[in-house]
Amino acid sequence: MKLEQVQFSKAKQWEIVRTDGTISNPNLILVFGERMLLEQVEWFDSLKKKYPNACIVSTTTSGEILQTEVYDDTISATVIQFEKASIYCKKISISEVKDSFEAGKKLIQDIPKENLKHILVFSDGHSVNGTYLVRGIDSGLPKDVTLTGGLAGDAARFEKTLVGLNELPSAGTIVMIGLYGDSLKVGLGCQGGWDAFGPIREITKSIDNELFELDHQSALELYKKYLGGQADHLPGSALLFPLAIKAKKDGQAIMRTILSINEEKQSMIFAGNMPEGASAQLMKANFDRLIDGAGVAAEQSLVSLKDSKPELALLISCVGRKLILNQRTDEEVEAVAESLGGDPYITGFYSYGEIAPFFDEVKCELHNQTMTITTISEID
């Protein structure tokens, strides 16, 4: 695998950040950037002119990860040239189908399956239900094929998010990238790092991602009770106190972030579905554990690589973690780099939702408040 990383400067030209100097005909270019910058045509035209045969996949972010730095208001691109592996890219607009489940189902139906090793998916994070998108993809995902990706971000504005394939990114778009070939080694990691806070309760009334009752009591009132003085700062303070939900007693907890509250309906809107019958427990931020969790995710991603060292690491972390860690945000990326060892190319972004399986599992989930890592190597 041959790699190069570039950043779009204020002078509206690409500047090399890191390169092995051998890129000639790349297959894939992953572009992550601030939404208003990605809406401008100059970055795309210059990249397409230089690499006319590459699939250019672009995603708006809530912060760009490039090597061990976290940036705001930039565009970064990682140029990838596989030597033996191949790729297949497909896009769909949510407006073309009935719902997010059907979008995921159609994408996975349309992608070639022979020798498929891994799928990356980048989706609009505003108008697409990430839970149903993942379920739709999972409905046709071949056994032993893994899936990771993320929902596009829009800083902390939550106005609109954009994704594109070989054109300027647009709202409502979902892009799927299939990675093919026996030469590929893919590792996966997924970790939160939150502390439990309060009793375990049952979700007794909800509709998709809107939660009404816990233990037959108003979920919003219970939430406010446990937050105490922090309740005066809702919904902003909700980032500090996500809920961990479990659909099964022996299942792993999935983090869910509160996006908004509805005082009239006494409900809370979450960034992923809140299924009735699942257990829910309030969590609180622990800065050191969040950073350590990122390092653990990196260690997990190395397990399936065995003796191979990662050449490329794709990090997708939650905007909530970035807002909480604030000036310490770089530390979680540095923790990942330290755990990975070697000198891999590191790219990624802060998102509105992370798509990855739990460690040692194949079935994929939509996560919030989680660091997810996909490591990729190409062997002889």
DSSP code string of 20-50: -S--SS-SEEEEEE-HHHHTSSHHHHHHHHH
* Amino acid letter, 263: E
| CB-CB contact of 351 with 130 (8 Å) | no
Q: What is the pLDDT of residues 291-318, one digit of tens each?
A: 999 999 999 999 988 778 999 999 999 9
Q: What is the pLDDT of residues 128-186, one digit of tens each?
A: 999 999 999 999 999 999 999 999 999 888 889 999 999 999 999 999 999 999 999 99
Per the DSSP assignment, residues forming a β-bridge with 81 are 2
pLDDT of 158:
83
What 8-state DSSP symbol labels residue 159? S
Q: How far is CA 246 from CA 19, 44, 278, in A?
A: 43, 42, 5
pLDDT of 321:
92
pLDDT < 70 regions, the chain: 249-250
pLDDT of 250:
64
End-to-end C-alpha distance for the chain, whole angstroms: 10
CA atoms within 13 A on the CB side of 234: 24
d(CA 267, CA 205): 10
pLDDT of 373:
97
Phi-psi region of 135 (alpha: psi -120 to 50; beta: other; left: phi over 0): alpha
pLDDT of 12:
80
Please state whether the predicted TM-score (pTM) of the whole model is above 0.75: yes
Number of helices (H) and strands (E), helices first, in the chain? 8, 27
